[in-house]
């Protein structure tokens, strides 16, 4: 088997001004500044986070969706496979999901993580390049619309199921790639829960794990022989007011290149990019900015190599989320909170990333106090909380 190059991009959405610009200037416009990078790898993979609106569907106002003509941009860019298992794929219902899948398939781009039924959504896609057989599996954290159903058409992430699927499929290919859309947004470091999940997938046989959804880049680690990219960030995305909450990191973009020889990862590197916030498309960086960027990314990589630091940063993110939800609860009142947020907090893995962290902080406090010797006071009474 000769050397193969895999190229990976993060979140792609045409929901903002980019669709209009493509309509006006043509399908090469979206990626013309980075086309040299896109054409380099033997296999190109990305996360498509807009649903293509079917002709008979009126799209949900706040969703991420785009007109059909943008699909041509991804064909010209050379995408071989797109992950569709993400939190926006049901923004035009399951009709939109199937339509998007069909549009790409008809244009010769494979899709993963979705399907007409559960079996198809969880099935491995195979692409062969230079004699190396690559298998692709994709999952998404269960997000809000899980509660509205999806009829098994989306591969929701469940660790034990994913491990079984990796073990079952790995013997059929040379390199197994898992694409995972998961976790909290805008944090520069992953949750310990995601780190744990990814490492377990690696131990089960996944050679490359590509994560996305935080909309900002996170570190990369080589765990055993497996490469884990904890967040690829945005690749082409509308930098709207919501994205501006984590500016400039939401405009920090890159392409990840992974070299594979005889079925093993032998090298990896990034090409640094920036998203123009008015256009929502990526640009290459000039030399001067590259070294600044290099420093930032090596800081991100250093975090994922240090479990203590990772855990402390995760706890900070969890505290922030708890504060946000507490404020929400105070404003809404208990019953409304249960109706609107109770499901999200207790049912969805998306939120478990911070709920688990809070539980660990509680455990930590308990460990500190549980062996207290209380001859004349009760140090741990739950009723002693100050007003
Ligand atoms: Fe997402």
Give the pLDDT score at 383.
Answer: 60
Number of domains into which the chain is organized = 2
What is the H or E stretch that residue 166 is in? helix 159-169
Task: Based on the fold, state whether residues 184 and 252 are members of the same structural domain.
Answer: yes
Are 296 and 322 within one domain? no
Q: Is 323 in the same domain as 257?
A: no
Whether residue 379 has pLDDT greater than 70: no
Q: Which of 353, 387, 342 is nearest to 159 (CA)?
A: 353
Same domain, 294 and 323: no
Query: Ligand 1 center to residue 387 CA distance, Å?
Result: 39
CA of 220 to the centre of ligand 1 (A): 19
> Rounded to whole angstroms, how far apart are CA atoms 162 and 137?
9
pLDDT at 381 over 70: no
Q: Are residues 278 and 358 in the same domain?
A: no
pLDDT over 90 (residue 344): no
Question: Average pLDDT in the 170-196 region?
Answer: 97
pLDDT at 145: 62
Q: Average pLDDT for residues 113-129, to the nearest whole number?
A: 96
Distance, CA 97 to ligand 1 centroid (Å)?
A: 15
Specify the CATH number for the domain of residue 102: 3.60.21.10
Q: How confident is the model at residue 142 (pLDDT cuts 50, 70, 90)?
A: confident
Q: Which range has highest mean pLDDT (85-89, 301-305, 324-328, 362-366)?
A: 301-305
- Cα–Cα distance for residue pair 300/317, rounded to 1 Å: 15
Chain-centroid distance of CA 131 in Å reads: 29
What pTM was estimated for this model as a whole?
0.94
Q: How far is the CA of 384 from the centre of ligand 1 (A)?
A: 41
Which pLDDT tens digit goes with each residue over 256-302? 999 999 999 999 999 999 999 999 999 999 888 999 999 999 999 99
Which residues constitute the domain of residue 224? 4-305
Task: Give residue 190 CA to ligand 1 midpoint distance, Å.
Answer: 14
Same domain, 202 and 270: yes
| Cα 213 to ligand 1 centre (Å) | 4
Q: Looking at the structure, do residues 323 and 241 belong to the same domain, yes or no?
A: no
Is the preceding omega at residue 248 within 30 degrees of 0, hence cis? yes
- End-of-domain residue from the set 305, 330, 354: 305
- Ligand 1 center to 373 CA (angstroms): 48
**Ligand 1 centroid to residue 92 C-alpha, Å:** 15
Antiparallel, parallel or unpaired: β 125-129 and 132-140: antiparallel
Inter-residue contact 69 to 25 (CB < 8 Å): no
CA of 214 to the centre of ligand 1 (A): 7
Rounded to the nearest angstrom, the distance between the alpha carbon of 49 and the centre of ligand 1 is: 7
The Å distance, Cα 367 to ligand 1 centre, comes to 36
Q: Is residue 379 part of a domain?
A: no
Rounded to the nearest whole angstrom, what is the distance from the C-alpha of residue 218 to the centroid of ligand 1? Answer: 15
Specify the higher pLDDT residue, 256 or 341.
Answer: 256
Identify whether 382 is part of a domain.
no
Domain end marker among 290, 305, 320: 305
Asked if 236 and 336 sit in the same domain, the reply is: no
Confidence class for position 149, pLDDT limits 50, 70, 90: low
| pLDDT score recorded for residue 148 | 57
d(CA 50, CA 19): 11
Residue with the larger pLDDT of the pair 211 and 340: 211
Q: Across all residues in the chain, what is the average pLDDT?
A: 93
pLDDT in tens, 15-71: 899 999 999 999 999 999 999 999 999 999 999 999 999 999 988 777 899 999 999
> Which pair of tokens denotes residue 189?
């470091």
In this structure, the answer to whether residues 263 and 359 fall within a common structural domain is: no
The residue with greater pLDDT, 261 or 376, is: 261
The whole-number average pLDDT for the span 328-333 is 92
**180 Cα: distance to centroid of ligand 1 (angstroms):** 10
Task: Calculate how far, in angstroms, residue 181's C-alpha sits from the geometric centre of ligand 1.
Answer: 7
Cα 88 to averaged position of ligand 1 atoms, centre (Å):
7
């Amino acid at each position: 088997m000769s050397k193969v190059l895999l190229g990976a991009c993060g979140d792609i959405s045409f929901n903002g001004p980019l669709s209009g610009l493509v309509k006006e200037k043509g399908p090469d416009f979206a990626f013309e500044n980075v086309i040299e990078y896109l054409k380099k790898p033997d296999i190109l993979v990305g996360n498509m986070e807009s649903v293509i609106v079917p002709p008979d569907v009126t799209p949900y106002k706040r969703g991420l969706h785009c007109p059909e003509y943008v699909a041509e941009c991804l064909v010209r860019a050379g995408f071989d496979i797109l992950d569709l298992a993400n939190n926006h794929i049901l923004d035009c219902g399951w009709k939109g999901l199937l339509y998007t899948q069909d549009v790409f398939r008809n244009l010769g781009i494979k899709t993963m993580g979705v399907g007409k039924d559960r079996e198809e959504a969880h099935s491995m896609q195979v692409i062969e390049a230079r004699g190396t057989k690559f298998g692709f599996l994709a999952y998404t954290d269960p997000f809000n619309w899980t509660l509205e159903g999806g009829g098994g058409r989306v591969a929701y992430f469940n660790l034990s199921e994913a491990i079984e699927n990796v073990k079952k499929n790995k013997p059929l290919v040379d390199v197994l790639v898992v694409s995972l859309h998961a976790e909290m947004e805008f944090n520069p470091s992953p949750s310990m829960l995601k780190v744990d999940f990814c490492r377990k997938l690696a131990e089960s046989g996944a050679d490359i794990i590509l994560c996305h959804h935080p909309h900002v880049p996170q570190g990369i680690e080589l765990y055993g022989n497996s490469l884990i990219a904890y967040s690829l960030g945005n690749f082409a995305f509308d930098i709207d007011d919501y994205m501006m909450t984590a500016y400039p990191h939401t405009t920090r973009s890159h392409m990840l290149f992974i070299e594979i020889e005889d079925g093993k990862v032998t090298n990896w590197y990034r090409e640094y990019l920036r998203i123009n916030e008015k256009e929502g498309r990526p640009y290459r960086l000039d030399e001067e900015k590259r070294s600044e960027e290099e420093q930032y990314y090596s800081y991100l990589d250093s975090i994922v190599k240090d479990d203590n630091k990772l855990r402390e940063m995760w706890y900070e993110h969890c505290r922030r989320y708890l504060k946000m939800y507490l404020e929400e609860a105070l404003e809404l009142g208990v019953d409304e909170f249960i109706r609107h947020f109770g499901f999200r907090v207790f049912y969805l893995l998306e939120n478990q990333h911070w709920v688990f962290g809070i539980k660990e902080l509680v455990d930590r406090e308990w460990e500190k106090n549980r062996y207290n010797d209380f001859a004349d006071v009760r140090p741990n009474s739950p009723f002693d909380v100050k007003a």
